[in-house]
Structure 1
């Protein structure tokens, strides 16, 4: 493409600007055409002669994460008590780390094949980059391109290919658009390809994939709006209980009543009398009560050749009343729930000593919660952003329940991004999703990813509505992300083989 720099500061600035476009396609902006144009511009930079792939990808990712996860600063400064300059430094280091991970596939390609990057290598590289970021170093599956397409024609692909498949289609659209712009041979075939992908997405939206598992369930949740600075303050224990009980008075009798993540700000062993009373009320009201609580269990540890009785702590959900089940969170948030290299980092600043940063990971292969006679797959906070984890669990359930405490992020864009990801999980699995939070956004999402009830943010309130459980599996639930990952790996392998053969 003319007028685009191929290397140096101007090219990096152009890549940075393209990266800034990516979060604009997601909540709360939802300008997906802008992010698509940014992706086309990024791809155009990458295929220029002598393009510095790793540097361009790094600059693009700095723009994308610098805007899209700027809310990290709020957590570090406001609730981690880090001074402004230190919070800015730590946020910058986090963005830099994410940008380096983003640039890794492009750097590896250029190291392996120093020549020009083929246009058709761009979609599989993009897909493998998104997939890599879902598991490397425990993963940070945030800011995926597909989240901006909940309401676009491409939404029909979500139950078939999942969020990674959507990303592959969006990247393929960008590559095809670039082929049209460059007037490459077969450009009309490229136009037909774009029309086919988007038209098929629109047609797939009409497929139900799952069937109702009635009857309709009535659902209610309490949003206690506890200030984060008081969340674990012992003086706030009774006021927290009072808020939960006062807001719940009019909600008993619903099929399901949900309190949010760690709604009981104490250990389960200490909350047992309170929980026993609420279990009795729930049984009398024919209600399944679900509450978040920190479960502590005895655990034998060995130290200096001696066996000592210690404790394990889990971020958990517990069902009381008309139902049963306990779920321990499996995917923990680094620094928030556990501290990597804790021996070196604890005590350095308050951010590395947050109250619940000593949690343990729950075991794999846990069972769904039973709310009455309905199996429900739980996801605690950050877990809802892991698409394959939710898809696998939802196969054994008829609805999804996620609880969160997004007070960590203040008035940033993180809570609405988090809600949008929960909507995508509903669309991928065609299961309704209940999302109960401490201070918003609490919501009920139907099996098409549409919000049917939502509570305002930063208010002490309750929310009630209804949902229809669903039975059956979408194609994505059966296969997970492996088909698109393997397809992309195969495509890159063939492109590498072809490029090597073409060398003199």
Structure 2
């Protein structure tokens, strides 16, 4: 393919359009919710890349990733600069490395796309959705993963929401990319004076979008008619004093005060590390809580755990959540945030800059296959902060639960769009599993999410307040809970093998 075959021949214009296409995807997510821009972004990417020589596709993909993560994930700057005791120049540099590093996933995926499809335009079009899905999946697990900003997540508010309980977020992403592909292909086929094929291609792209609302009307799980009364406390504790010993008592008093009128609720939820003491130091606080709780009430709180781990054969810290009162159980966080909860290569990085010495950044990963918490007769699967972003992890653990809970401290990200995206991700997990999810946070967004991923009730950010509402237990499983992402990933792999092993008739 020569240079004259590139739809956008001007390299500078192509660069600008690829960055724009990536940034446009950020607008599909909260707080913008312009989900319809997803296919538009994909079509624009194809316009700039589908006939590029294979050796130039890595750069093209990297530019798309740069636009996406530079606009949609650069909120990490706030935690590095404001709370990481790091200078502004160093914070900017570290944020740039973070964004550029994440963009490499897109670059590598596009490079693989070119290598697998070679020069055939038809093969490239057929392979593009499969490559996109597999690229997203790899990004979600490699080096602990960054399962953020998947195009399908925005569809919790779009027509493809009904596919989430069936195929999960990767399935929704597949249909977004497929529609973008069909938009590009239909326009190209029309240009080639093949209107019937163009129309058929466009219709095929829209079919999953038309089926989505009907699927969304399906009830995959059985939601109890008996409500569970819920109170969730949002303490709005400033991040800068969170681990200051002089302010520990003040934080406990804040949460006790917010709970004063709600000790009789069925379920009371305090957020991540609401008790800023390890469990072996918090005995008097537990005793006070137990003395105030009603006989049928359960309080679930985030708290650091310290003790000897038989699994690790050493004393260690865990970021944990536990149940008190008419409940029991302790859960240790499994998906830790690099640099926030543990420091990779810490023997070399500790002490270099303040960001590598954040308070409580020496947690150990909890064991796999932990049991849910119990509140009365209700089984509750908890997820701490970042864990709720992992779709297969949430779905697998939700099988043993009637209700989901996620606690977080998004104070690390200030008034950026990060916490708003985090809430949207939690909504997608509720939709995928057909279960209510209660989200308790330090400074917002605290919410009760129903089994369709819709917010039943919430309270404003950056206020010390109590959310009161109702949740409902659910039984049964969605198809996605039973299979995880494997059907979509298998389909992508089969498509790659099929297209690679057969002669594809040319359409150009």
TM bracket (short chain): over 0.9
| Alignment partner, residue 84 of structure 1 | 88
Q: Would the aligned equivalents of 2:38 and 2:176 in 1 still touch at CA under 8 Å? A: no
Q: Would the aligned equivalents of 2:33 and 2:157 in 1 still touch at CA under 8 Å? A: no
Q: 2:212 aligns with which of 201, 204, 215?
A: 201
Once the two structures are overlaid, the 10-residue window that deviates more, 465-474 or 34-43, is 34-43
Residue 49 (structure 1) shift: 4.4
Q: The residue matched to 1:297 in structure 2 has which SS?
A: strand
Residue 277 (structure 1) shift: 2.0
Q: Would the aligned equivalents of 1:6 and 1:48 in 2 still touch at CA under 8 Å? A: no
Q: 2:226 aligns with which of 212, 215, 223?
A: 215
Give the whole-Å Cα distance in 1 for the aligned partners of 2:199 and 2:350.
60
Residue 84 (structure 1) shift: 0.9
Q: Would the aligned equivalents of 1:220 and 1:464 in 2 still touch at CA under 8 Å? A: yes
Give the whole-Å Cα distance in 1 for the aligned partners of 2:454 and 2:422.
14
* 5+ long unaligned stretches in structure 2: none
* Cα deviations by residue, 1:92-115 (Å, 9 ceiling, x for unpaired): 000011001222122123345542
Q: Show the 5 A alignment for 1:16-27.
A: 16-27=19-30
| Alignment partner, residue 319 of structure 1 | 323
Q: Show the 5 A alignment for 1:23-422.
A: 23-50=26-53, 52-117=56-121, 118-183=124-189, 185=194, 186-282=197-293, 284-299=294-309, 311-422=315-426
Q: The residue matched to 1:182 in structure 2 has which SS?
A: helix
Residue 8 (structure 1) shift: 3.3
Q: Would the aligned equivalents of 1:368 and 1:375 in 2 still touch at CA under 8 Å? A: yes
Give the whole-Å Cα distance in 1 for the aligned partners of 2:116 and 2:392.
30
Once the two structures are overlaid, the 10-residue window that deviates more, 387-396 or 99-108, is 99-108
Give the whole-Å Cα distance in 1 for the aligned partners of 2:11 and 2:183.
25
Q: The residue matched to 1:319 in structure 2 has which SS?
A: strand
Q: Which aligned runs of 4 or more in structure 1 are off by greater than 3 angstroms?
A: 1-4, 6-9, 111-114, 299-302, 499-502
- Cα distance, 1:2–1:20 mapped onto 2, change above 3 Å: farther
- Cα distance, 1:490–1:300 mapped onto 2, change above 3 Å: closer
Residue 9 (structure 1) shift: 3.2
Q: Would the aligned equivalents of 1:287 and 1:321 in 2 still touch at CA under 8 Å? A: yes
| Alignment partner, residue 492 of structure 1 | 496
* Cα deviations by residue, 1:139-197 (Å, 9 ceiling, x for unpaired): 00000101111122111101000000000111111111111111265222212213321
Residue 494 (structure 1) shift: 1.4
Give the whole-Å Cα distance in 1 for the aligned partners of 2:220 and 2:310.
47
- Cα distance, 1:113–1:450 mapped onto 2, change above 3 Å: closer
| Alignment partner, residue 14 of structure 2 | 11
* Cα deviations by residue, 1:391-417 (Å, 9 ceiling, x for unpaired): 011111111000000000001000000
Residue 323 (structure 1) shift: 0.7
Q: Would the aligned equivalents of 2:60 and 2:110 in 1 still touch at CA under 8 Å? A: no
Give the whole-Å Cα distance in 2 for the aligned partners of 1:212 and 1:35.
32
Q: Would the aligned equivalents of 1:47 and 1:116 in 2 still touch at CA under 8 Å? A: no
Q: Would the aligned equivalents of 2:444 and 2:462 in 1 still touch at CA under 8 Å? A: yes
Corresponding pairs, count: 495
Give the whole-Å Cα distance in 1 for the aligned partners of 2:276 and 2:96.
32
Give the whole-Å Cα distance in 2 for the aligned partners of 1:301 and 1:451.
39
* Cα deviations by residue, 1:261-319 (Å, 9 ceiling, x for unpaired): 0000111111122112212322x4421000100010125899xxxxxx95211000010
Give the whole-Å Cα distance in 1 for the aligned partners of 2:216 and 2:115.
41
State whether structure 2 residue 447 is matched by structure 1 residue 443: yes
Once the two structures are overlaid, the 10-residue window that deviates more, 17-26 or 189-198, is 189-198
Once the two structures are overlaid, the 10-residue window that deviates more, 38-47 or 319-328, is 38-47
Q: Would the aligned equivalents of 2:445 and 2:458 in 1 still touch at CA under 8 Å? A: yes
Give the whole-Å Cα distance in 2 for the aligned partners of 1:49 and 1:286.
65
TM-score, scaled to structure 2: 0.94
- Cα distance, 1:326–1:253 mapped onto 2, change above 3 Å: same
Give the whole-Å Cα distance in 1 for the aligned partners of 2:311 and 2:157.
51
Q: The residue matched to 2:16 in structure 1 has which SS?
A: helix
Residue 2 (structure 1) shift: 9.2
TM-score, scaled to structure 1: 0.95
Once the two structures are overlaid, the 10-residue window that deviates more, 190-199 or 220-229, is 190-199
Give the whole-Å Cα distance in 2 for the aligned partners of 1:301 and 1:48.
53
Q: The residue matched to 2:489 in structure 1 has which SS?
A: helix
Give the whole-Å Cα distance in 1 for the aligned partners of 2:251 and 2:504.
65
Give the whole-Å Cα distance in 2 for the aligned partners of 1:135 and 1:301.
23
Give the whole-Å Cα distance in 1 for the aligned partners of 2:311 and 2:73.
38
Once the two structures are overlaid, the 10-residue window that deviates more, 143-152 or 116-125, is 116-125
